[in-house]
Amino acid sequence: MARTILSNARIVLEDEVIAGTLVMHEGRIEAIDTGHATVAGAEDCDGDLLIPGLIELHTDNLERHMQPRPKVTWPHAAAILAHDAELAACGITTVFDAMRVGSVVTDAKSKYGKYARALAGELLEARRRDMLKISHFLHLRAETCSETLLEELAEFGAEDRVGILSLMDHTPGQRQFRDIEKYRDYMCGKHGLSAEDFDAHVDNLTRLRGTLGAAHEAGAVAAARRLGAVLASHDDTTAEHVAVSKGHGARLAEFPTTVEAARACKQMGIAVMMGAPNLIRGGSHSGNVAAEELARHDLLDIVSSDYVPAALMGAAFLLADLWDDLPRGLATVSAAPAAAAGLVDRGRLAPGLLADVVRLRRIEGQPCLRGVWSHGRRVA
């Protein structure tokens, strides 16, 4: 692989921004040199920023490509490739693709089917055959409010290299959906449920949580240990929730819903992740705590694009402006998620690390991408 040299750039390091040249070779960053001069044979960046490739720990975007409209399914292989290309175009070079495990098969009003094992197999095969532009890992979303969680988890093994397993409890009336009316608006708007259908759906999920929730939670924690996956909590709301998560061994808290929960996470050494759409929209669509409020309290460590891949870059720059610290803002989408996921070979620009690099310029506040390299190969 020929050397790629990017010179006359502003390079964002861990705690400073320098003028210099970055050299990529054989998939790694070979050197970073200071100075404004343009090196012979180099690509002149004309003062553009060079930042680490973004790392996404929780995105539902692949599911969106699998079902582009309600009741419309799309071939998995095509969905995977479209999702991969979209993320590359947004500056994301590493993604943990979230896949639901746990289905409801017996109740018509709450029914949702199994898909994770088949999809994961297709994704891993695409990765093996070098069909993908960026690095993909598995993130299993373990739905405790389901009927088949333990059976579906048993289908995954060490060979799948599951990176993250998150504990999901979407029982209405608590955690993300404490406000039952907001949940009603969400479900009836998205799925077209009637009032009677919605009430039946809530009753069924509540019943499942009461009968299977504890066993499913314990089984999912055991599965994370068996698979060697980072355990994440989801929608912790109280300090008591966080204490339980800590007892399970959680290292990452996805979208805590209150300041109380986020503060408890920080006190217990659990990294706090919030959604980029929450930051960009100025608040939570579920009526929970605003990500910006946590950022102002120094309670925010990591940002996830959640359901809008392009939001990840924008959110990092919003935080950089809020904190008046560009390296810190960008660390929420690079170094911090890398550390939380146990990835030691990426997330920063430094010699010896993977050459996951993004070139961009900010125009009227908007980050505009000029180039994306994954493992030293230009992908956007």
Q: Give the pLDDT band (50/70/90) at residue 163.
A: very high
Overall average pLDDT of the 40-51 stretch: 95
Count of C-beta atoms within a 10 Å radius of residue 243: 13
Convert the pLDDT of each residue in 89-98 to its tens digit. Answer: 999 999 999 9
DSSP code at position 110: T
Has residue 186 got a pLDDT over 70?
Answer: no
Look at residue 349 in the predicted model and tell me its pLDDT.
Answer: 98
Both tokens of 352, joined, read 């010896």
Predicted TM-score (pTM) of this structure: 0.91
Has residue 141 got a pLDDT over 60?
Answer: yes
84 touches 98 (CB < 8 A): no
Overall average pLDDT of the 102-124 stretch: 85
Q: State the Cα–Cα distance between residues 335 and 354, nearest whole angstrom.
A: 13
Domain 54-344 fold is: TIM Barrel (3.20.20)
DSSP code at position 39: P
Convert the pLDDT of each residue in 199-226 to its tens digit. Answer: 666 777 777 787 787 899 999 999 999 9
b/e burial code for range 248-271 (CB count within 10 A of at least 16 → b): bebbbbbbbbbebbbbbbbeeebb
Both tokens of 52, joined, read 């680490």
CATH 2.30.40.10 placement within the chain? 1-52+346-380
When mean pLDDT is compared across 150-164, 179-193, 198-212, the lowest value belongs to: 179-193
Convert the pLDDT of each residue in 253-292 to its tens digit. Answer: 999 999 999 999 999 999 999 999 999 999 987 788 999 9
Count of C-beta atoms within a 10 Å radius of residue 190: 9
Mean predicted lDDT score pLDDT of the chain: 92
Overall average pLDDT of the 58-72 stretch: 92
Q: Give the pLDDT band (50/70/90) at residue 104.
A: confident
Look at residue 65 in the predicted model and tell me its pLDDT.
Answer: 96
CATH 3.20.20.140 placement within the chain? 54-344
Has residue 8 got a pLDDT over 70?
Answer: yes
Paired with 262 in beta bridges are none
Q: Which CATH number fits domain 1-52+346-380: 3.40.190.80, 2.30.40.10, 2.60.40.730, 2.30.42.10?
A: 2.30.40.10
Overall average pLDDT of the 164-176 stretch: 76
